[in-house]
Amino acid sequence: MLLRLSIKLLKMKSSALIVGCLIFVLAATTLAYWMEPDNFGSWFNSLYFVLTTMATVGYGDYSPETVSGKVLTIFIYIFGIGLLSLVIGKILDGVAAFHRKREAGHLRFHGKRHVIIANWSKKAQYAVEEIMSTDPTIEVVIIDELPKHPYDKPNVHFISGDPSSMEVLEMADIGNARSAIIFADSRIDEPSLVDGKSLLLASTIESVAPHVHTTVEIMLEKHIQNFKHVHVNEFVLSHDAVSRLAVRSAMNEGSVGVITQLLSRQRGADLHHIPVSREWKTYEDAFLALLRQGATLIADNHDMNINKKLKEPIPAEAKLFVICDEVTYKRIMEETHS
């Protein structure tokens, strides 16, 4: 009979087993207090006795004095300890199953302002590390068809599946993401096919969440026009940056170090977006005000000809970028918000 009962309990759902355990504890507590009210003094002391008995702690500060109370205690020994063990086992199994699903990328992500990275590669790993060094609190979601989590770190989540699938993007909570970075699939040899897959993913994101800022790595420059039709925000040519850096190094010695600092937030000055102050009427006002604070205004959106248009008024849609260190940037932002 005990064997059959154990098998049935093992087959029970975790929620039903936990509810059953709670009912057992409450019933045993009430019955023990009803049998020996003077001994326990209060219902809470009776609950304390039942729990310490089920947990095999048995401090001995409360113990039954009547025969019926001792018979109840024996009943708690036999059934309560086993029931509690089953509940603990179910909880441990649930935790283990959760971690298995997380590692396999089968858990749905829920968050806001997270960054989605599609197609895992060494470049994608560098991107995750750069994001973490910029702001360790940012949530990153990796989407790839790998069988297990490729970069199991805090705040880095994994969704297994085809990144161009609508269902997979919804599992990554694409609607609440701040941006998506699409890397070229390194498992495909033909550049045109790689860009075709990236284009399909970009168009899917555009159809589901057009507000998400998308950056796409492109293999062939001639395909940029195709991506503009799906309103991709930024393009990065796969081999373009390395080639250009090599030329800069050969033609202008020492320039690579400056460019490298701008590419990484881990060292030196960096490129930051600064909101437009109401006190700034022209680019010159912004340039001089920022310069006094230790920052250099270099661009409005993609336009880097600020020094040629200092007398021009700053348009309402302006997006100013400066070069400065992290301390200066935080000070400017604090003064702007104040």
Instruction: Please report, as a single letter, which amino acid is at residue 248.
Output: R
- Burial of residue 188 (number of CB atoms within 10 Å: 0-12, 13-18, 19+): middle
pTM above 0.75, yes or no: no
User: What is the extent of the structural domain holding 275?
Assistant: 269-337
Does residue 252 belong to any structural domain of this protein? no
Decide: 151 and 104 in contact? Cβ < 8 Å: no
Question: How far is Cα of residue 94 from the mean position of the Cα atoms in its chain?
Answer: 21
Task: Report how far residue 337's alpha carbon sits from residue 318's, in angstroms, rounded to the nearest whole number.
Answer: 18
- Which of residues 222 and 279 earns the better pLDDT score? 279
Does residue 257 belong to any structural domain of this protein? no
Domain count, the chain: 3
Does residue 7 belong to any structural domain of this protein? yes
Q: What is the pLDDT of residue 234?
A: 80
Of 56, 77, 102, the last residue of a domain is 102
Q: Indicate whether 78 and 174 sit together in one domain.
A: no
- Which of residues 238 and 183 earns the better pLDDT score? 183
Does residue 149 belong to any structural domain of this protein? yes
Does residue 64 belong to any structural domain of this protein? yes
- Residue 13, classed as helix, strand or coil, is coil
Task: Report how far residue 66's alpha carbon sits from residue 45's, in angstroms, rounded to the nearest whole number.
Answer: 17
CA angle 24, 26, 31 (to 5 degrees): 95
Task: Report how far residue 100's alpha carbon sits from residue 120's, in angstroms, rounded to the nearest whole number.
Answer: 20
Backbone angles phi, psi at 237, to 5 degrees: -75, 130
Does residue 325 belong to any structural domain of this protein? yes
Q: Indicate whether 229 and 287 sit together in one domain.
A: no
Which tens digits make up the pLDDT trace of 98-134? Answer: 888 889 999 999 989 999 999 998 888 988 988 888 7
Task: Report how far residue 286's alpha carbon sits from residue 311's, in angstroms, rounded to the nearest whole number.
Answer: 11
CA distances to 123, 138, 179 from 131, rounded to whole Å, are: 12, 7, 12
Does residue 211 belong to any structural domain of this protein? yes
Which tens digits make up the pLDDT trace of 258-283? Answer: 666 665 555 567 788 888 888 899 99
